[in-house]
Amino acid sequence: MSDWFKSSALDVLAGDVGGMERKNELLHSDLLARHGDSPMAVGWSSAVSQRSRLDRVFKQFAYSPNLHPSVLDVGCGLGDLAPLFQGYNWRGSYLGIDVNCNAIRLANERRLMDVPAPQYVSFKCVGLLQFQTDLQFDLVVASGLFSLGANPDERAEVDYDWQKYVTDAIRKMRELARHAVIVNFLSAFAAEQQPGMAYVSPGFMLDMLTEAFGPRIVLNHDDRTNDFTVTMPLTPYPSYSAEVGA
């Protein structure tokens, strides 16, 4: 992310007393209205930056024993994960959910044009905390969902509203996931940091999530300083399971 946040989006959020899903909806509605169908509409400075982070999400698919795991994409925006993953010959079922109904409308339009196998892909306009289903998904992913701070003048480490939102959201994601939850966060090590965003120390995040959910957490901060990926396996790692006969 670069200077996309230095905009009227801050004015849109001023005085909003709603929850974090409402704040995300307001922000991204503003971005979509200004930038249209582009990576900047969902907070990316460029397609290259977007692709880099989504590629790292795809690498975590190894935490499912299924070759083509089913995926729930939380805060899917324009649904860019689906064509990217299918470009790697993945053909699992994909459901993208987002509170921004205009983004979902565009995602459905793009599905028929940009997705190699659209029959596996669907979208729904709903927030995570309101999402109800009897289904479980092999993998539940959220890329960029936690980038916006709850209180713009506070660091993430002391922004308790943001921490509660993260914890509540991941708890719901774990309920919906069969094999793993995959999320990412903006890093406190980022050289350029934008106002209003939640940049957090990887060590703090590891401690916070371990305290809330236990020690089965993998944190990857190896190739980028701007953000890091957290994977929470819910079942034994596939290769290890095969070795021990689990």
Hey, is 72 helix, strand or coil?
strand
pLDDT of residue 12: 43
Query: CB neighbours (10 Å) of residue 64?
Result: 23
Of the chain, the end-to-end C-alpha distance in Å amounts to 42
Predicted confidence at residue 34, as pLDDT, reads 64
Burial (CB count within 10 angstroms: exposed 0-12, middle 13-18, buried 19+), residue 22: middle
Task: Give the contacts of 2 (CB within 8 A, at least 6 positions apart).
Answer: 45, 192, 194
* Amino acid letter, 105: R
Exposed / middle / buried, residue 122 (Cβ in 10 Å: 0-12, 13-18, 19+): middle
Domain ranges for the chain, please list them. Answer: 3-244
Burial of 77 (0-12, 13-18, 19+ CB in 10 A): buried
Q: Going residue by residue through the chain (246 aa), what tens digit of pLDDT does each one get? A: 334 444 444 444 433 334 777 666 666 566 656 655 555 545 555 555 566 677 888 888 889 999 899 999 999 988 888 888 888 888 899 999 998 888 898 888 887 777 777 888 999 999 998 999 999 999 999 998 998 888 877 888 888 889 999 999 999 999 999 999 999 999 999 988 888 889 999 999 999 999 999 999 999 998 677 889 999 999 886 654 444 333
The whole-number pLDDT of residue 51 equals 60
Q: Is 185 exposed, middle or buried (0-12, 13-18, 19+ CB in 10 A)?
A: buried
DSSP 131: -
Handedness of CA 35, 37, 41, 43 (dihedral sign): negative
Inter-residue contact 166 to 129 (CB < 8 Å): no
User: Using CA atoms, how far apart are residues 100 and 190, in angstroms rounded to an integer?
Assistant: 28
The CATH architecture assigned to 3-244 reads: 3-Layer(aba) Sandwich (3.40)
| DSSP designation for 42 | G
